[in-house]
Structure 1
């Protein structure tokens, strides 16, 4: 059977989890599930409105990726502000709060799932956040510092499980009681709302240029895996205010989708190694002919071809 293709890309990752979910379930399973469904309706709508794609929804956790760090951050702040409002309508024993972590880095996508160090770091950041709070990496803070209405408190370096180097972590200081800034009408608490795609959100924007948006998306999809910086420069020239500007600028600066990051090679190799598929090992060797695992990859490839 042919192995599923691996997609590698630079993305902003948002990881969220409900604080004290097991405790709430032990008190009242039915009511807790009802509250979670109501809150998730709001959370999912905010993520989609910010052009995010939800990948993981196991139990009380949420994992989403965004084409823009600004979109991911605005979504996170809006979620916490919306949760503050939703919880006001509930008794204290039913209130449900999220912790959120945001990271930016290369990720791997396979079989509709997203994984890699970029995802793991976001999940660890979520665990460091306050109840109802947000934590980010230094890279996210540096990118956002002059672009958002928030400040960042330096929490110092933290050793993260399965991550070789310590990470500088920052707590986001924002007003949880402010109105969510995202351009959308929040669904009432407890009332599900139909999910909307990017195309649907544009179609309902009376000032949006639907055709222009489709052209931009099609252009971006044609260059997003390119290793040629000139293609990202062309995108920035044609769409200076496009929705993928931050990502295109980052790839233009780094020279492509992120081959400079050794963590990407490690994550790629771990996937290849565990799959034990000759085609995937060949894909690794093609991408990293002088990689740190190339010798082992050649040995494994020879053994697999003999069997």
Structure 2
């Protein structure tokens, strides 16, 4: 045993990174560096205002930690709003946009620095965010989803480099809609706003309907989703082979009966199978 025991603590880690930083530097090194310095100053002020602290800055990244999960998310939202509102980038150059990831997790403490999976996950979540967006882990979502006037889109389990897949959420900064309901990814207000005004024919794009259907099936129990998929397939076969002879309803009825019976047996009271003592 040694006296140099690793110190740990539970904290909220915010990781911010400039999207396309290398491309911006290649186009204009001096202007990009000046803009980065200006935005870092604004970020530092907002972090301090929300009782956080800047842990480290290297390259174009900013790592901060907060004692409060709510303050961390609120700070991230204000950072993106502040950067968007400044809108003072040089003309005819791409705007500088940050991506932010937030995670609540256990970290190792070494002086003023923090390390470990808690930091790594925040960094990977940042990579999932859109430019100008914020993505949070499920541990953060559990703490803030009913405490802030923002919405959330569930991204599901996305693969992340050197990190086990986990459920993450995109923060929609236009405010809560429909009483704070969490939208599916492709139904989110943010995604619709980014796509621009709806044009004639856009509402019925096949890809949009396919995403909506797949998201709906993903929320159902697996046996129900499988039965509905097979039923739809049988219906299509019947349609394309001629509706003069309708036969698809018989196998569909058998499938649905099997699913209902299986569900009923699975959820029957356990007391029926136990003898009285």
TM-score by length of 1: 0.54
Larger proportion of strand = 2
- Alignment partner, residue 156 of structure 2: 156
Aligned to 1:166, the other structure's residue is in SS state strand
1:171 aligns with 2:170: yes
Pairwise CA distance, 1:3: 7.8
- Alignment partner, residue 234 of structure 1: none
- Alignment partner, residue 221 of structure 2: none
1:32 and 1:94 in contact (8 A); partners too: no
1:107 and 1:118 in contact (8 A); partners too: yes
- Alignment partner, residue 113 of structure 2: 113
Aligned length: 174
2:35 and 2:89 in contact (8 A); partners too: no
The change in CA–CA distance for 1:89 and 1:30 in structure 2 (over 3 A counts) is closer
The change in CA–CA distance for 1:3 and 1:95 in structure 2 (over 3 A counts) is farther
- Alignment partner, residue 230 of structure 2: none
1:19 aligns with 2:27: no
The change in CA–CA distance for 1:17 and 1:82 in structure 2 (over 3 A counts) is same
Pairwise CA distance, 1:56: 1.5
1:55 aligns with 2:55: yes
Aligned to 1:95, the other structure's residue is in SS state coil
Gaps (5+ residues) in structure 1? 177-307
Distance in 2 between the 1:162 and 1:99 partners?
Answer: 19
- Alignment partner, residue 9 of structure 1: 9
Distance in 2 between the 1:112 and 1:157 partners?
Answer: 32
- Alignment partner, residue 273 of structure 2: none
1:136 and 1:170 in contact (8 A); partners too: yes
The change in CA–CA distance for 1:38 and 1:116 in structure 2 (over 3 A counts) is same
Distance in 1 between the 2:4 and 2:127 partners?
Answer: 31
Distance in 1 between the 2:79 and 2:3 partners?
Answer: 37
Pairwise CA distance, 1:159: 2.5
- After superposition, where does 1:1-307 map in structure 2 within 5 Å? 6-88=6-88, 90-93=90-93, 95-163=95-163, 165-175=164-174
Distance in 2 between the 1:129 and 1:37 partners?
Answer: 22
- Alignment partner, residue 187 of structure 1: none
Gaps (5+ residues) in structure 2? 176-277
The change in CA–CA distance for 1:116 and 1:148 in structure 2 (over 3 A counts) is same
Aligned to 1:57, the other structure's residue is in SS state strand
Distance in 2 between the 1:5 and 1:96 partners?
Answer: 42
Aligned to 1:130, the other structure's residue is in SS state coil
2:31 and 2:90 in contact (8 A); partners too: no
Distance in 2 between the 1:32 and 1:94 partners?
Answer: 10
Can you list the C-alpha shifts for 1:101-157, whole angstroms capped at 9, x where unaligned? 000011111142111101000000000000100001111112111100111101110
Aligned to 2:106, the other structure's residue is in SS state strand
Q: Which runs of 4+ in 1 moved over 4 A?
A: 2-5
Pairwise CA distance, 1:91: 2.5
Distance in 2 between the 1:111 and 1:19 partners?
Answer: 30
Distance in 1 between the 2:165 and 2:19 partners?
Answer: 25
Can you list the C-alpha shifts for 1:164-195, whole angstroms capped at 9, x where unaligned? x320011111139xxxxxxxxxxxxxxxxxxx
Pairwise CA distance, 1:161: 2.3
Pairwise CA distance, 1:61: 0.3
Q: Which has the higher contact order (CA 8 A, sep 6+)?
A: 1
